[in-house]
Structure formats: structure tokens, C-alpha cells
Amino acid sequence: MNLAPLTTGQAQQVTAAGLFCANQANVGCFSSALCRTITENGMPAGPVTANTPADAVLAAVFCIVKTNNGLVDAAASLPGPGAVSLSGTFVASE
């Protein structure tokens, strides 16, 4: 699984045909055959000050590869698209 680009901006994949990944098991995404756009929104930390906590959100849209276990792949419609956002706080030291 490749999360690049992992971003603090907007991560988006758009497909007219509904196929987000190579050899995708089913058309669409997240149990919707009509899905043609996946969007995750990150958030930059803004001004960073030493020793001051800063909140940020990382976002990515990616493909989940098949597991080669027929039961798991069928149940999860793999290979197929995935999306993630991760909120966190970091502190930059001097």
C-alpha cells in the first residue's frame, strides 16, 4: 500500500469509470457503485512555534491490494480504493 502523497492539503482521486485501482474488484467505492470521487481533507499546522503544540491532519487516498485470501478479498472487495485521515499534535523543539 502506497500512501504517497500523504498531505496536509486535499487528497483526491476522480475516475469517470469508477475504477480507482488496477484490477479493482468492483466499480465504485465504499459500497457505492455510483462513487466516482474520493476526497480526504488534511489540515496544515499553521505557524509553528518552538515548544508549542500544533495540531495538523494528514490525508491520503490510495489502493488496497488483494490479500490472496479469496474469502477476505471477496468480503472486502479487494483490490479496491482506500482513504485515510490522521489527526495529531506535534511539538517542534528548538
Cell numbers of 36, please? 466516482
Q: Give yes or no for residue 2 having a pLDDT over 80.
A: no
Q: State the average pLDDT for the chain.
A: 93
CA dihedral 47, 49, 55, 61 (to 10 degrees): 60
Task: Report the amino acid identity of residue 12.
Answer: Q
What's the pLDDT band for 26 if we cut at 50, 70, 90?
very high
Per-residue pLDDT of 41-71, as tens digits, reads 999 998 889 999 999 999 999 999 999 999 9
Q: What is the predicted pLDDT for the residue at 1?
A: 67
Chain centroid to Cα 31, Å, comes to: 16
For residues 74 and 81, what is the distance between their CA atoms, to the nearest angstrom?
A: 14
Q: What is the predicted pLDDT for the residue at 5?
A: 83
For residues 77 and 18, what is the distance between their CA atoms, to the nearest angstrom?
A: 14
- Domain residues of the chain, as ranges? 10-42+60-85
Q: What is the predicted pLDDT for the residue at 84?
A: 95
